[in-house]
Chains A and B, each alone.
Chain A
Amino acid sequence: MQRLGSRDMGAEIERALSNPNLQRALDNAMATLYGRRGAVLGSIDFEALRRRARELKERALARNDELLAQVVERVTELGGTVAVTANAAEARDYIAALARDRGVRRVVKAKSMVSEEIHLNSALEERGIEVVETDLGERIIQLAGERPSHLIVPAVHKTKDDIIDLLARTMGLADPPTQAEDLTRLIRVDLRERFLTADMGITGANFVVAETGTLVLVENEGNIRLSSQLPPVHVALTGREKIVETLADIATFLELLPRSGTGQLLTSYVSLITGVPSTEVTDFGRATGETVHEREFHLVIVDNGRSTAAADPQLREALYCIRCGACLNACAPYTRVGGHVYGSDPYPGASGAPGPTSPRVTPKPARSTVCVPPAPGAPRSAPS
């Protein structure tokens, strides 16, 4: 356990400050993210949007038990299975047991901060299952044997040269490509085959809609679409604070999250997954009235301290977060040393990880530095 303000943290900070690659990577990424966000906020009444999103989250959290029951009911009706788990171990065990029962050998996984929180990958790997991260940044981190250092850009601490070296080493390339396009293509080809042969896909969820039982997944790469739709079993893993009331609410969150996270009006893909798709069986073009489920769907909802946080008038604040990561890009200490210094377990940030941005209730010695709101929009006013 790390004491607040310990010497170790000083040493880690010194290391981060004297790592030229880290400094170069952060300089570039933070300025880009901060700038892109600023560029798209002018086109809308951003403050009103944030207030509205906050209200929606507050309302949903106040009814969380009721909405959770609604999600269970809706998803079950639509052919899915819902597991409400109390802690990390329960969630891990559920997924591991499911994988064992289905004879899963290979899992393709989209980015999920909750999976980092519950240390899912190591639990599956211990059982001999291959877990393949498919988000480009997460894949880079996985190959490097590291943890993500930013909510939105997991490999933000690496330069392109770091990545070239990493891929050359781990993929056994004598003459690795040097352009970002070619490096990306390399990963695309490598992962495509793994997608097509995976027995299970694991994703997170940005929002879960109680009214319809719909999962909302926000991404740019397309790996979430493939992880959720391609393998015969889809497991979505999420925290119970992600439940919102209606599909109409989602419009507000979708106006906010991409703008704030990456400076986009909308990300390339937003998947709305409602239960298990069923297909009507046809016989030479004529409907038979029979339907079959195209695959198996399990929604694993994690509590892991969230209910206790929700009951605490002070800590409740953390549960309104939509994880856009904008607070990190505006955080002066973070922009100089990155997320690893703060002990990314897994929600990083000078803003006090693992305390404030993680919904844990037990006070842990937060490796936080300072937090004053340095600019409009962050972090006091970081979008919910």
Chain B
Amino acid sequence: MLTDLFIQSLRACGGEASSVGAAELPRALAALVGAGGLVVVTPELESLALELAERGVECRVASRLGAGDAGLEADLRAAEVALTRGLVGIARSGTVAVGPGGGNGGLLAALAPRHVVLLGEEDIVDSLAHAMQVISERFHGLGGEAVFITGPSRTADIEMLSVVGVHGPLGLHVVVVRREAG
């Protein structure tokens, strides 16, 4: 089962992972990110942001604009959690890819101390080659960034000691969303 392998692989490289049914998502997310400070959500998850806000989560939809946008900078400085959608997951390595496409999803996800990614169960594939194919199709004629993310930001530059959280997020959590029958 790809989802199980994905979750296992991600945990092995220091990330967190869970799996929830689509109907349960807003409640589960509110529990996960609530009271953790400002949650900045990419525009494509706007409706989810509304549901989170209804549940009392301090939530803001990120600006669509790029560098130099005043709203963006404010978001970037204040965000404690970045909530973005994953494009494709790789079971074997516990990798999730975000982007491409406009917006500041990638940037937000790089700056906030915690990054939470929603990944459709059906978007998990077995190998890097397969994931690259998915990305390749998305890239077709489109500019922008895609980032393969495998666990939290880390370094071993000081005496090869593994330290988590250098410039990117200290925590990565992938929520695998199960599509329920019916």
Interface residues of A (CB under 8 A from B): 25, 28-29, 32-33, 78-79, 134-137, 140, 153-155, 159-160, 163, 180-181, 183-185, 187-188, 191-192, 195-196, 212, 214, 220-223, 225-226, 228-232, 247-248, 250-252, 254-255, 262, 264-282, 291-295
CB pair B148 A266 closer than 8 Å? yes
When distances are taken between beta carbons in the complex, the residues of chain B under 8 Å from A267 are 150
**Whole-angstrom distance between the Cβ of B156 and the nearest chain A Cβ:** 7
Query: A187 to B157, alpha carbons, bound, how many Å?
Result: 12
> Given A136-B166, A251-B128, A294-B65, A153 and B156 touching (CB < 8 A)?
yes
Which of B142, B159, B163 is most buried by chain A, counting CB atoms within 10 A of its CB? B159
Given A248-B136, A266-B148; A274-B160 close (CB under 8 Å): no
Map CB proximity to A onto B92-107 as digits: 1 under 8 Å, 0 otherwise: 1101000011110011
Q: Give min CB distance, B41 to chain A, whole Å.
A: 15
Which one, B95, B107, B154, B157, contacts A137 given CB within 8 A?
B157
Whether a CB of chain A sits under 8 angstroms from the CB of B1 is no
- The docked-state distance in angstroms from the alpha carbon of A180 to that of B167 is 14
B124 in the interface, Cβ–Cβ < 8 Å? no
Given the complex of chains A and B, what is the CA–CA distance between A214 and B128 in angstroms? 17
Contact A265 B166 (CB under 8 A): no
Interface size on B, residues (CB 8 A): 56
Whole-angstrom distance between the Cβ of B104 and the nearest chain A Cβ = 8
A226–B111 alpha-carbon span in the complex (Å): 8
Chain A residues with CB under 8 A of B145: 228-229, 271-274, 277
CB proximity of B141 to chain A, nearest CB, Å:
9
Known contacts A273-B145, A279-B65; A255 and B128 CB within 8 A of each other: yes
Given A248-B136, A268-B153, A294-B66: 6 more A-B contacts, CB < 8 Å: A136-B155, A180-B161, A188-B167, A232-B67, A247-B136, A251-B129
Asked if B64 CB lies within 8 Å of chain A CBs, one says: yes
Residues of B within 8 A of A187 (CB): 166
**Given A247-B136, A266-B150, A181 and B169 contact (CB-CB distance below 8 Å):** no
CB distance from B50 to the nearest CB of A (A): 13
**How far apart sit A136 and B136, CA to CA, in the bound complex (Å)?**
32
Interface contact A279-B148, CB-CB below 8 Å: no
Pick the residue among A28, A192, A291 that contacts B160 (CB under 8 A): A28
When the two chains form the complex, which single residue of A134, A220, A279 contacts B153, counting CB atoms closer than 8 Å? A220
B64 touching A282, Cβ below 8 Å: yes
A160 cross-chain contacts in B, Cβ below 8 A: 158-159, 161
In the complex, the answer to whether B166 meets A188 with C-beta atoms within 8 Å is yes
Q: Is the CB of A268 within 8 A of B159?
A: no
Give A223 to B139 CA distance when docked, in angstroms.
23
Contact B76 A33 (CB under 8 A): no
Contacts of B102 in A (CB 8 A): 277-280, 291, 294
Identify which of B66, B93, B106 contacts A279 (C-beta below 8 A): B66
List of B residues within 8 angstroms of A275 by Cβ: 143-144
- Which of B64, B106, B136 has the most A CB atoms < 10 Å from its CB? B136
* Assembled-state Cα–Cα distance A51/B130 (Å): 20
User: CB-CB < 8 A to A229: which residues of B?
Assistant: 106-107, 110, 145
Contacts of A136 in B (CB 8 A): 155, 157-158, 166
| Chain B interface (Cβ < 8 Å from any Cβ of A) | 9, 13, 64-68, 73, 76-77, 90, 92-93, 95, 100-103, 106-107, 110-111, 127-129, 132-133, 135-136, 139, 142-161, 163, 165-169
Residue of A with least CB distance to B95 = A266
Cβ A248 vs Cβ B129 within 8 A: yes
CB pair A191 B167 closer than 8 Å: yes
Provide a sorted-by-A list of 6 A–B residue pairs whose CB atoms are within 8 angstroms: A28-B159, A29-B160, A33-B160, A187-B166, A226-B168, A270-B148
Q: Are the CB atoms of B159 and A29 closer together than 8 Å?
A: yes
Distance in angstroms from B61 CB to nearest chain A CB is: 10
Chain A residues near B92 (CB-CB < 8 A): 265
> Is there an interface contact between A230 and B67, defined as CB atoms closer than 8 Å?
yes
Look across to chain B and name the residue whose beta carbon is closest to the beta carbon of A275: B143
| Docked-complex contact B67 and A231, CB < 8 angstroms | yes
With contacts A196-B76, A266-B148 known, is A295 near B157, CB below 8 A? no
Instruction: Decide if A272 touches B64 in the complex (CB within 8 Å).
Output: no
For B156, what are the chain A residues with a Cβ–Cβ distance below 8 Å? 32, 153, 220, 262
Contact B144 A277 (CB under 8 A): yes
Kindly identify which residue among B143, B157, B169 contacts A153, using a CB–CB cutoff of 8 Å.
B157
The answer on a CB contact under 8 Å between A32 and B160 is: yes
When C-beta atoms are compared, the residue in chain B nearest to A282 turns out to be B64
Q: Are B169 and A222 interface neighbours, CB within 8 A?
A: yes
Q: Is the CB of B144 within 8 A of A274?
A: yes
Q: Are A279 and B165 in contact (CB under 8 A)?
A: no
| Other-chain residue from B77, B139, B165 in contact with A214 (beta carbon distance below 8 A) | B139
A185 to B163 alpha-carbon distance, docked (Å): 9
Among B77, B127, B136, B158, the residue within 8 A (CB) of A196 is B77
Does B157 contact A135, Cβ atoms closer than 8 Å?
A: yes
Which residue of the partner chain, among B9, B135, B144, contacts A247 with CB atoms under 8 Å?
Answer: B135
| A225 (CB) vs chain B CBs: closest residue | B110
With both chains docked as a complex, state the minimum distance between the C-beta of A22 and any C-beta of chain B, in angstroms: 13
Partner of A140, one of B95, B101, B136, B157: B157
